[in-house]
Structure 1
Amino acid sequence: MGEDDWWLLVGFGGQALFMGRFVVQWLVSERRGRSVIPVSFWYLSILGALVLFAYALHRRDPVFVAGQGLGVAIYLRNLHLLRAERAQAQQPSG
């Protein structure tokens, strides 16, 4: 197996992680009977985007690099907002 084959596996692995986030979102939504975006969706988004980012760097694809890089920033921001929301909810009111 050559180096290019390994990079193809990396690319497909990143794509699988990225696709997996939608499967998780769909299963959780079905279980709850409403549309839900679980926290695991954001973690799979980050992992998938980072792997695809590495693949895009290897391929020297500036469009793909920019898209995945921006995606990672957005996914991290969503996790930050969720943590802030949880911290706010845990503070005693009054």
Structure 2
Amino acid sequence: MLIDNLADWAHSVFVEQFDTWLVIGFVAQAMFSARFLIQWIASERAGRSVVPVAFWFFSIAGGGMLFAYALYREDPVFIAGQGAGLIIYMRNLWLIFREHRAALVN
């Protein structure tokens, strides 16, 4: 019984709901998760904790796609979480850009 119920649930979630938005959601989640791999690799290479600029670009790309997905699915928790995150990611990139611009001037 439990196996049948689990199989029915999996079919409902992963097969019956399959559409373009589900693909976008999975691609977005993969992109968002890739930022941690990028950060880990950069830190291992440097031998210390490092947050490369690519981390923020992947955060914005994955977070933006996940935000669109959350809007489509009308999930208020996901919308609030990803929306707030996008502001933070953009602010970090702006601070990095400003620092690089100031270094060029000096």
Identical amino acids, percent of aligned pairs: 54
The amino acid that maps onto 1:82 is I
Cα deviation code 1:47-88 (max 9, x no counterpart): 001110111011101111111111111100000000111112
Q: 1:5: how far off?
A: 2.5
The amino acid that maps onto 1:88 is A
The amino acid that maps onto 1:59 is R
SS, match of residue 28 in structure 1: helix
Q: 1:6: how far off?
A: 1.9
Give TM-score scaled by structure 1 length. 0.90
Corresponding residue of 1:76: 90
Bigger mean CA offset, 5-14 vs 32-41: 5-14
Give TM-score scaled by structure 2 length. 0.80
Gaps of 5+ in 2: 1-14
Corresponding residue of 1:53: 67
Corresponding residue of 2:45: 31
Match of 1:21 among 35, 42, 47: 35
CA distance in 2, matches of 1:79, 1:50: 15
Corresponding residue of 1:63: 77
User: Number of residues paired by the alignment?
Assistant: 92
* Structure ranking higher on relative contact order (CA contacts 8 Å, 6+ apart): 1
Q: 1:3: how far off?
A: 7.2
Q: CA RMSD in A?
A: 1.6
CA distance in 1, matches of 2:51, 2:59: 12
CA distance in 2, matches of 1:57, 1:33: 39
